[in-house]
Structure 1
């Protein structure tokens, strides 16, 4: 999990430094956090 978070953060930093609109960078970060698994919740399998 830590490696995944580090990769996402580094990617967001890179695109931010490359000049991507700050609002877009913020939306990317929000999406990345929203799709993280929540501890204690089980995934339902079809």
Structure 2
């Protein structure tokens, strides 16, 4: 019982960390897209 409980806890912690990693990666991608859009917007304004 204790062994499986520990494994369950470890799996939960792993999933949490994985989820955070994925979210961070997604956020970075999103930020990049926003920067690209802003750059395009600015260059359109200038031309």
- Work out which of the two has the higher radius of gyration on C-alpha atoms and give 1 or 2: 2
Q: For this structure pair, what is the TM-score category when the shorter chain's length is used for normalisation?
A: 0.3 to 0.5
Larger RCO: 1 or 2 (CA < 8 Å, sep 6+): 1
